[in-house]
Amino acid sequence: MLQYFAPDIICRSITDIPLDELKERGIRGLLFDLDNTITEWQKDEVTERNKQWLHDLREQGFSICIVSNNHAPRVKRVAEQLGLPCLHSAAKPRRKSYWQAAALLKLAPQQLAMVGDQLLTDVLGGNIYGVKTVLAKPIKPEKTFFQIACSNRRKNQDYPARNIERRDYFGRSSQRSKLCNQK
């Protein structure tokens, strides 16, 4: 089971993908995740470096397709900018989008590699479908729910102490509540 979460290659960014190694393994097509792989999360701008590298990839004979779970308008905007085919609302890690991308590029799973920043979607789906998988470090990591909760807690650290006086059965204030109220 765990092998499905293990990428074949790990790299710092898409421009560090070892193309010679992929060629040796018979890879002819690359499926790219969009958010945090080609662009920053939810941003349409692609850096000149990434644009040039994707252009060079096609010059070297690789077929490319963007496979993203994001919605159609966003994915199409970036794909048109780069002149690449795309599949939106891909629902990775489900296999359907990988199968559709393979059909689009007219390549077998053995000739494809999925490149993305997420283990639970890009890598898991790619391994289930049977393509090579490349895990790239996210361009700008998204904040997790835990990180957002912690930063909100830090912002609200100066909230006033609760002024709740605890009383016992006879209506006397307890020592603990007195200490709390002294703050």
Q: Please, what is the minimum distance in Å from the beta carbon of residue 34 to Mg ion? A: 7
155, exposed or middle or buried, with CB in 10 Å at 0-12, 13-18, 19+? exposed
Shortest Å, Cβ 98 to Mg ion:
15
Amino acid at 74: R
For residue 35, state whether it binds Mg ion (rule: CB under 5 A).
yes
Which of 25-33, 46-54, 76-84, 93-101 is the region at the interface with Mg ion (rule: CB under 5 A)? 25-33
* Cα–Cα dist 136/9, whole Å: 9
Size of the residue set binding Mg ion (CB under 5 A): 4
Residue 74's closest CA among 40, 110, 111, 108?
40
Stretch binding Mg ion (CB under 5 A), from 78-86, 100-108, 116-124, 153-161: 116-124
Q: Which is nearer to Mg ion, 41 or 177 (CB)?
A: 41
Binder of Mg ion out of 22, 29, 36, 113 (CB under 5 A): 36
Q: Which of 127, 94, 123, 124 is CA-nearest to residue 109?
A: 127
Report yes or no: 33 and 97 within 8 Å, Cβ to Cβ. no
53 φ/ψ angles, rounded to the nearest 5 degrees: -65, -40
The residue among 41 and 53 lying less far from Mg ion, judged by its C-beta, is 41
Nearest approach, Cβ of residue 164 and Mg ion (Å): 46
CB of 43 within 8 A of CB of 142?
Answer: no
Q: Decide if residue 117 touches Mg ion (CB under 5 A).
A: yes
Binding range to Mg ion, per CB under 5 A, among 34-42, 82-90, 102-110, 171-179? 34-42
Q: Which position among 22, 33, 63, 113 is part of the footprint of Mg ion (CB under 5 A)?
A: 33
What is the smallest separation between the CB atom of 1 and Mg ion, expressed in angstroms?
A: 23
Binding-site ranges for Mg ion (CB under 5 A): 33, 35-36, 117
